[in-house]
Structure 1
Amino acid sequence: MRRSFYHYILTQRGSNQKDPVEAFADHVSQDIMFPKQSENYHEVADYLEMNTNYIKSMDLFDRLWEKYTENNQ
């Protein structure tokens, strides 16, 4: 079964806020406006670029999206 990027990123949460993946996942989990059902790269990327300040680099998102697509086939 395919899952949304949001559901994938929730599996990356942790307590180490110095880890950029865990910190990003924690912020996403608290973002009530995040496109929770989306499986579309551009929809999520546009949302992050236009509506958030918790992602320092879109390179991190690109790496996570790649892992998401590998795990969501």
Structure 2
Amino acid sequence: MIKTFYEYLMTQRNPNSYEPVAEFANNAFYDQAFPKQETSFDILSKYLEENASYLPTMTVFDEAWSMYLASIS
């Protein structure tokens, strides 16, 4: 079974890090509405653009998405 983006993102959590992907993961962990079962770039991107005020730029998501794709291939 393919790991969801959220499952991958949670492997990047680090409360002591200021690295952008780690901060994204830390904040997504507390986002109750995050689409945790999603594997679609478009759906995740739309959700983050509309709801994730904790994400300073979508470039962070793009970087995390690239890392996610590398981890499942």
Q: TM-score, normalised by structure 2?
A: 0.92
Count matched residues.
Answer: 73
Structure 1 portions without partners, runs of 5+:
none
8 Å contact from structure 2 (residues 12, 22) kept in 1? yes
Runs (5+) with no aligned partner, structure 2: none
| TM-score, normalised via structure 1 length | 0.92
Separation in structure 1 between the aligned mates of residue 63 and residue 52 of structure 2, nearest angstrom: 18
Alignment RMSD, CA only? 1.0
Which letter does structure 2 place at the counterpart of 1:36?
K
Distance in 1 of aligned mates of 2:27 and 2:51: 13
* Contact 1:16–1:23, Cα closer than 8 Å, also in 2: no
Query: Quick one: percent identity of the two aligned structures?
Result: 37
Letter in 1 for 2:45: A
